[in-house]
Structure 1
Amino acid sequence: MKNILIMFSFLLFLTCKNNNNVEPVNVNVQDEDTLKTAEIKVDSMAVKSEIAEPTKSYKALKAELKAKGFETFDYVDEKTKDTVLMQQYFMAFLKSGTVRNQNEEEAQQLQKEHLAHLRKMYDLGYADISGPFGDDGAIRGITIYNVPTLKMADSLANADPMVKAGRLVIEIHPWWAAKGFKLR
């Protein structure tokens, strides 16, 4: 963490080097364990910069997931020789339900409530990604639940107002993904 601050300060110094009125760069940081922002003063002007929190070690992350009831396994990536931690998620397929006779106003209201439900799942950390499919097939969309059990994922998915109204039905499957990998 100190190396990041030193490098950031050096880059800031180089950026301002040609300005003769630049005062020395003062970096005021919190304790390393709680470091989230740094205040940097240049030319009597304070600039706040967000600094990434230190990432958890593989061992700590695996222990945390286990304590919360998540299933995991790991493997060694042949190319990088890194240990990759895999976590079980639950992929919910939202499929067309049998009750699709709502009028336009009712359907719009259900859609609004459906999107609010998905937003709530994301905000609470229960779902990592949701979205509709781009065709008009029987499977309307997906939600990937980041919860420890199928029972919990099923309960959350079936709390969706569209599902309660019968406009959508849920089909859930366990799904494995590498922890920390991102969509590109």
Structure 2
Amino acid sequence: MKKILFIALALIIFKSCKNEIKEEVIHEEVKTEFKEKTVKELKAELTSKGFQIFDYVDEKTQDTIIMQQYFIAFLKRGENRSQSEEEAKELQAAHLAHLGKMYELGYADISGPFGDDGDIRGITIYNVPTLQMADSLANADPSVKAGRLAIEIHPWWAAKEFCLR
């Protein structure tokens, strides 16, 4: 099981990192696109799509930072873990495909497993306007449908223009 989790994590990291040069070009394009929009325009766009936002003013720089509500889904150990090894591998492949699709469609910003063997197996951060939408997408995961994983979702606030380091 740890080997499967390690492979899943490696695939997710590989998929999200990809080619450094391509990522830098994309990052610069995103930064340029973001800088072209005023704070007012970005706020109007987000609210028109139904996202919850608020302003935070950085005390040091006095910059206005837009805080956006995301939804963090905790993927927990489900009640039905009696699948054969082959079934578990197939579910894991379908689970990873689902997460990849969520990322490609822009619904999920990041996903990954935890490094321990606890009841909380991993997380996905959904970039969608409502809890209902995040819940629906998370529960469409084949591993959740099979009962191998269970979902617990919480609203989560993060700065709109900041990236993980």
Deviations 1:39-86 (A, max 9, x none): xxxxxxxxxx98734322211111000000000001210011100100
**Alignment correspondent of 1:126:** 107
Question: Aligned to 1:70, which of 51, 58, 63?
Answer: 51
**Alignment correspondent of 1:33:** none
**Alignment correspondent of 1:169:** 150
State, as a whole percentage, how many aligned pairs show the same letter: 74
Per the TM alignment, residue 108 of structure 1 is displaced from its structure 2 partner at its CA by 0.2
Aligned AA for 1:54?
E
**Alignment correspondent of 1:92:** 73
What is the TM-score normalised by the length of structure 2?
0.80
* Structure 1 SS opposite 2:59: coil
The answer to which structure has the higher strand fraction is: 1
**Alignment correspondent of 2:161:** 180
**Alignment correspondent of 1:27:** none
Per the TM alignment, residue 180 of structure 1 is displaced from its structure 2 partner at its CA by 1.1
Structure 2, unaligned runs of 5 or more: 1-24
**Alignment correspondent of 1:139:** 120
Moved over 3 A (4+): none
* Structure 1 SS opposite 2:33: coil
- 1:180 and 1:126 map into 2 onto residues whose CA distance is 17
Larger radius of gyration: 1
- 1:169 and 1:77 map into 2 onto residues whose CA distance is 37
- 1:150 and 1:76 map into 2 onto residues whose CA distance is 26
Aligned AA for 1:59?
K
- 2:98 and 2:82 map into 1 onto residues whose CA distance is 21
- 2:159 and 2:56 map into 1 onto residues whose CA distance is 10
- 2:130 and 2:33 map into 1 onto residues whose CA distance is 28
What is the TM-score normalised by the length of structure 1?
0.72
- 2:101 and 2:75 map into 1 onto residues whose CA distance is 17
- 1:54 and 1:86 map into 2 onto residues whose CA distance is 18
**Alignment correspondent of 2:130:** 149
